[in-house]
């Protein structure tokens, strides 16, 4: 079972990119972030006609997540909001597919270290920690994936001095990420690739992608039972080079399921 995550930065603009990417059969389950549309606007019929089961959890203008799956979604235990946080911001959905619990996250960006949005991000991550801890008790095969807006360590940024003091790399953000790992979750990509220099996001500005000025902020964190079945994980940079791309590249992990 190949599980992918991709922040598409507007499903309106990126619908053709998603369709083109999926036509290459890169995964069996795709989690999307930053739909920037209400759920009703999601192009459900198009993807259903291609054989995908799907569920969207969107809002106007900002945020929004969705799941496309080759396997049916178990409807009975869908969660569409993170307990304890503002339900108006659609940043999470938890579904069960093929015996795997999938928690699809769009973690707040945080804007600037020390800002109100930064504290909102840290609070959101603390709530996620509690939610995941509870989910683990019910679902041994669990993956928490998405746009974390955190580069876990210095291997995950193109230039440590460039990023020093900025959002995505601050010690409290990294501690929140490590706390999730402390629940027993493993970063699928890092588990298989100890070398640095692999990125999943490049700013639209400054020609960042062409100069590979990136950071690795999109992750799949899997539980012990799932990590035991992990065989591959890679970042597909190709769609980032397409015309009018998302600023994120998809990340795909393969589990023997």
Q: Where on the chain is the footprint of DNA (CB under 7 A)?
A: 9-10, 12-13, 36-37, 60-62, 108-109, 111, 117, 149, 204-206, 244
Among candidate residues 17, 158, 219, 248, the one labeled active-site is 248
Distance CA 106, CA 108 (A): 6
CB 38 to DNA: min, Å? 9
> Is 86 annotated among the ligand-binding residues?
no
Q: How many residues does the chain have?
A: 257
Question: Active-site residue among 17, 106, 118, 148?
Answer: 106
Told to judge if 17 belongs to the known catalytic residues of this protein, a careful annotator would answer no
Please check whether residue 168 is in contact with residue 217, taking contact to mean a CB–CB distance below 8 angstroms.
yes
CA 225 – CA 102 distance, rounded (Å): 14
Q: Which is nearer to DNA, 24 or 203 (CB)?
A: 203
Q: For the chain, what is the total number of helices (H) and then of strands (E)?
A: 7, 14
Residue 256 backbone phi and psi in degrees, to 5: -75, 90
- Nearer to DNA by Cβ, of 13 and 50: the residue is 13
- 232 known ligand binder: no
Residue 212 assigned ligand-binding role = no
Rounded Cα distance, 20 and 241, in Å: 13
Mark whether 147 is an active-site residue.
Answer: yes
User: Do the beta carbons of residue 223 and residue 234 sit within 8 Å?
Assistant: no
34 is in an annotated binding site: yes
Question: At closest approach, how far in Å is the CB of 252 from DNA?
Answer: 21
Let me know: does 7 contact 246? Beta carbons within 8 Å: yes
Q: Are 220 and 142 in contact (CB under 8 A)?
A: no
The residues facing 83 across adjacent strands are none
- 16 or 238: CB nearest DNA: 16
Q: Tell me if 230 sits within 8 A of 257, measured CB to CB.
A: no
Minimum CB distance to DNA, residue 159 (Å): 13
Least spacing, CB of residue 82 vs DNA, in Å? 15
Closest distance of CB 41 from DNA, Å: 10
Of the residues 28, 147, 156, 218, which is catalytic?
147
106 is catalytic: yes
Distance separating alpha carbons of residues 102 and 67, to the nearest angstrom? 9
Output the known binding site: 7, 34, 147, 149, 247-248
Which residues are known binding-site members for Mg(2+)? 7, 34, 147, 149, 247-248
The set of catalytic residues is 106, 147, 248
């Amino acid at each position: 079972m190949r599980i992918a995550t991709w922040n598409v930065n507007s499903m309106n603009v990126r619908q053709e990119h998603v369709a083109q990417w999926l036509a290459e059969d890169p995964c069996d389950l795709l989690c999307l972030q930053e739909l920037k549309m209400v759920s009703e606007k999601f192009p459900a019929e198009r993807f259903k006609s291609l054989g995908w089961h799907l569920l969207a959890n969107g809002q106007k203008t900002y945020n929004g997540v969705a799941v496309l799956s080759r396997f049916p979604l178990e409807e009975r235990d869908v969660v569409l909001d993170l307990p304890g946080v503002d339900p108006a911001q659609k940043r999470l959905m938890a579904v069960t597919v093929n015996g795997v619990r999938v928690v699809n996250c769009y973690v707040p960006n945080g804007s600037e270290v020390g800002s109100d949005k930064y504290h909102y991000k840290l609070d959101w991550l603390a709530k996620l920690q509690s939610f995941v801890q509870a989910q683990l008790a019910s679902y041994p095969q669990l993956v928490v994936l998405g746009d974390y807006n955190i580069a876990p360590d210095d291997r995950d940024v193109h230039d440590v001095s460039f990023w020093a003091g900025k959002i995505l790399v601050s010690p409290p953000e990294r501690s929140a990420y490590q706390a999730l790992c402390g629940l027993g979750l493993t970063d699928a990509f890092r588990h298989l690739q100890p070398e640095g220099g692999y990125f999943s996001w490049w700013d639209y500005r400054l020609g960042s992608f062409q100069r590979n000025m990136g950071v690795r902020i999109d992750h799949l964190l899997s539980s012990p039972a799932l990590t035991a079945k992990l065989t591959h994980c890679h970042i597909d940079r190709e769609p980032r080079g397409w015309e009018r791309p998302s600023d994120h590249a998809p990340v795909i992990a393969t589990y023997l399921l």
